[in-house]
Amino acid sequence: MRLVVARCQIDYAGRLTAHLPMATRVLMIKADGSVLVHSDGGSYKPLNWMSPPCTLREGATEDGQVEWTVTNPKTDDTLRILLAEVISDSSHDLGIDPGLQKDGVEKHLQELLADHPGTLAEGLTLVRREYPTAIGPVDLMCRDAVGLSVAVEIKRRGDIDGVEQLTRYLELLNRDPLLTGNGAVRGIFAAQEIKPQARVLATDRGIACAVVDYDALRGLDDPSHRLF
CA 99 to each of CA 32, 44, 92, 96, 179: distance values in angstroms, whole numbers, following the listed order = 16, 18, 19, 9, 43
The whole-angstrom separation of Cα 53 and Cα 47 is: 19
48 lies in the site for DNA, by CB under 7 A: yes
Asked if 103 is part of the footprint of its own copies (rule: CB under 8 A), the reply reads yes
Question: Taking CB within 5 to 8 Å according to partner kind, which of DNA, its own copies, none is near residue 178?
Answer: none
Q: Is there binding between residue 73 and its own copies (CB under 8 A)?
A: no
- Kindly tell me which residue out of 4, 26, 27, 79 binds DNA, with binding defined by CB under 7 A: 79
Q: Is 82 exposed, middle or buried (0-12, 13-18, 19+ CB in 10 A)?
A: middle
Candidates 62, 73, 92, 177; binder of its own copies (CB under 8 A) is 92
Helix (H) or strand (E) holding 172: helix 160-173
Instruction: Tell me how far, at minimum, the Cβ of 63 lies from DNA, in Å.
Output: 25
Q: Is 16 in the site for its own copies (CB under 8 A)?
A: yes
Q: How many residues bind DNA (CB under 7 A)?
A: 35
Cα gap 127→125, rounded to integer Å: 7
Among positions 64, 76, 105, 227, the unique one binding its own copies when judged by CB under 8 A: 105
User: What distances in angstroms separate CA 203 from CA 104, 169, 170, one per listed residue?
Assistant: 28, 16, 14
Interface with DNA includes 19 (CB under 7 A)? Answer: no
> Total residues at the site for its own copies (CB under 8 A)?
54
Query: Which residues from 136-165 bind its own copies, rule CB under 8 A?
Result: 156, 161, 164
